[in-house]
Amino acid sequence: MGSVTTRKSSGSTTAAPAKRQRAGSSGSASERRDHLVKLAAEIFARKGFQATTVREIATEAGILSGSLYHHFDSKETIVDEVLSTFLDDLIARYRAALESGSDPRTVLSEMVRIGFGTLEPHRAAITVMQNDWNYLRQFERFNYLVKAEDEVEQMWVAQIKAGQAAGQLRADVDPKLTYRMIRDTIWVAVRWFRPGGRLNTTGLAEHYITVLFDGLATGERTTQKG
């Protein structure tokens, strides 16, 4: 998908004192807005997007519903920002890995690390994607979700095929099916992974890379194409 437009405040370093003061006020408003987005994302992840009301978000934020509407015109706008921020970050990181010029196996390993690396900073967004995907995708404003999914799949499948062509990966596995198994392993981990446990996301990624490329079995290969 194309890059989702994000809203950013701008200011001038040569502005008069009065203008600098207004920029400071805008900065505070921006911080407040970001806080509300993060708070709402946690509620969406916990209760589900459909079950969450604007009043609940406002109550948890300690403000009136009318004050929330000062920042957002609907809860759809809030979840839109939550998901687009996550997808923009994920796709930008994937593109950087693809543009590194490394061999396919190295790129795929880095993409695995990127995926697992999102589990903490984007935990709420990933949870919402899993729980509310089918509901959100029926609305035109969320068409970018499907486009992003397609773009990410194309990135992974192309690298798997490149690895097969280079002789780094088995030629007898289906690239699309392999990608989808990798995808589901990464994203479903958000349901059970807890920060502060035995493994952090880096350790989790490295363990998965080992299993992905080296497998579990020792000795001769015991499986073959049917």
- pLDDT tens for each residue of 123-147: 999 999 999 999 999 999 999 999 9
Return the closest-CA partner of residue 180 out of 159, 154, 153: 153
The yes-or-no verdict on residue 84 having pLDDT over 80 is yes
SS (H, E, C) 143-167: HHHHHHHHHHHHHHHHHHHHHHHCC
pTM exceeds 0.75, yes or no: yes
The yes-or-no verdict on residue 29 having pLDDT over 80 is no
The yes-or-no verdict on residue 10 having pLDDT over 60 is no
CA distances from 43 to 47, 49, 61, 75, 162 (A): 6, 8, 11, 11, 41
Q: How confident is the model at residue 149 (pLDDT cuts 50, 70, 90)?
A: very high
- pLDDT tens for each residue of 34-55: 999 999 999 999 999 999 999 9
**Whole-angstrom Cα distance, residue 33 to residue 61?**
11
Which domains are delineated in the chain? 75-214 (1.10.357.10)
Q: How confident is the model at residue 210 (pLDDT cuts 50, 70, 90)?
A: very high
CA distances from 132 to 26, 46, 136, 170, 203 (A): 32, 12, 6, 35, 29
The rounded radius of gyration (Å) of the Cα atoms in the chain is 21
- Asked whether 100 and 110 are in contact (CB, 8 A), the reply is yes
Quote the pLDDT of residue 226: 44
